[in-house]
Each structure stands twice: as C-alpha cells, then as structure tokens.
Chain A
Amino acid sequence: AQSVTQPDIHITVSEGASLELRCNYSYGATPYLFWYVQSPGQGLQLLLKYFSGDTLVQGIKGFEAEFKRSQSSFNLRKPSVHWSDAAEYFCAVVTGYNQGGKLIFGQGTELSVKP
C-alpha cells in the first residue's frame, strides 16, 4: 500500500536560513507527488507537484523540491525562509487510477520561524 512519511514533526529555523523538509514515499509505480502548505485554520495551498520530467521542481513562494527515485524521496527546500513561511507542510502521493486517484498525506511538518 502507498504511504508517505514525513520524519520531522516540528522544525524551527531562523529567518533567512535555508530550509529542507523531508518526505519519503512508498509506491510501486511512478509516483505523482505534491507538497501543500496549510496556515492555521485554513485549507491547503499547493506549493508544487511532480508528475514526470525534470526531477527538480519549482513551486510558488520560492520553494523547490527534488524527486529522487533511488531514495524514494521528495524533499522540499527553500534557500531563505521568511517569517510568513511558518505553517504546516504536507507531502502527498496520488494513489493509482483504479484506487480512485486519492491523495495519501504524510503526517505533516510544522515549521516555526525564529526572528
């Protein structure tokens, strides 16, 4: 069965520092991967997605993610964090077509930003 693991429940970084949020997936076929961000009491906003092609994906708000098939990873990065990036981040993989194309979410990583 497909699964997504985000090993870090909570990360704190200083404003201006670089950020990497880890995501590992378990999926037999080519995965379709997403990163979403959720501010408190809000819905989810899509940061970026990987379907195929270039394994380094650029997203909104200066985020990027790299798909590494050999490591079953899709880590999210940002070179310089802003205080407004403090939020919950979710990695997700789409299930197979015959399974309804549902999203399987990781547990989420809460990002705090120190001034």
Chain B
Amino acid sequence: GAVVSQHPSWVICKSGTSVKIECRSLDFQATTMFWYRQFPKQSLMLMATSNEGSKATYEQGVEKDKFLINHASLTLSTLTVTSAHPEDSSFYICSGGQGAYPYEQYFGPGTRLTVT
C-alpha cells in the first residue's frame, strides 16, 4: 500500500518559536495533500488542502498566517507553525491523495507537537 511519512514524530518547542513538520509520500505521487489536527479523544479536524504548486486552501477558522503550508513537489508538503503558543499543542496528521477524485487518502503516522 501507499506509504506516507512524517518528520518529526514528536517535537517540543518554546512559545514564540516556529516549527516545521514534513509530510512525504514515499511510493506514490500525491497530487493533493491534506493536513489535519487532532485533539485527545477527538476526531480529525481538516486544517487545509494543498495541491502541488498551488497555494493551500484553508478551512474556515484556520489562521493561514499561523499555519503555513507548502506543497513544493508531488511527494513533499510542509506545515510550519509560526510563533507557536501552548494552545497550538496537538497531534498533526497529514495525508496524501492519489489519483483522480474520489481521492483515496493515505495517512502519515502523525506528529505530536508540544509548545512549552
């Protein structure tokens, strides 16, 4: 099956700093990548959708200046949390969509972000 990796798997950063999370599709070309946020014991909340070479489309209520998403190639997307604060602490999961609609999404293992 299609594999998606995320790096780092966990990260601790100080309040006010920025942190970058990488999402890679290892054995397929992800025409579309999705970024989710998940709070403990809750479902996934879609943050944004990105297509290679295009600007990301953010969901309502998600601060695009805080959560910078770049989809530079068909195998790499990055999420940068800028000026992180403790309330940004969460589990971030990316997925890659393969082929045409309806996309079958393959999920990465997630990144645990803790802001101190």
Show the binding face of A for B, using Cβ within 8 Å: 32, 36, 41-46, 49, 51, 90, 94, 97, 100-103, 105-108, 110
Contacts and interface: CB of A to CB of B under 8 A. Distances in A.
7 contacts: A43-B108, A43-B110, A100-B57, A101-B97, A103-B44, A105-B44, A106-B43
Interface in B53-111: 57, 91, 93, 95, 97, 101-110
Interface of B: 1, 4, 6, 32, 34, 41-44, 46, 49, 57, 91, 93, 95, 97, 101-110, 112
A106 to B, nearest CB: 7
A102 B107 contact: no
Nearest to B93: A43
A96 B99 CA distance: 15
B93 A108 contact: no
A100 B109 contact: no
A43 B109 contact: yes
B38 to A, nearest CB: 9
A101 B43 contact: no
Contact of B110 (A32, A41, A101, A103): A41
Contacts of A94: 101-103
B105 A103 contact: yes
B49 A46 contact: no
Contact of B43 (A46, A49, A51, A107): A107
A101 B104 contact: no
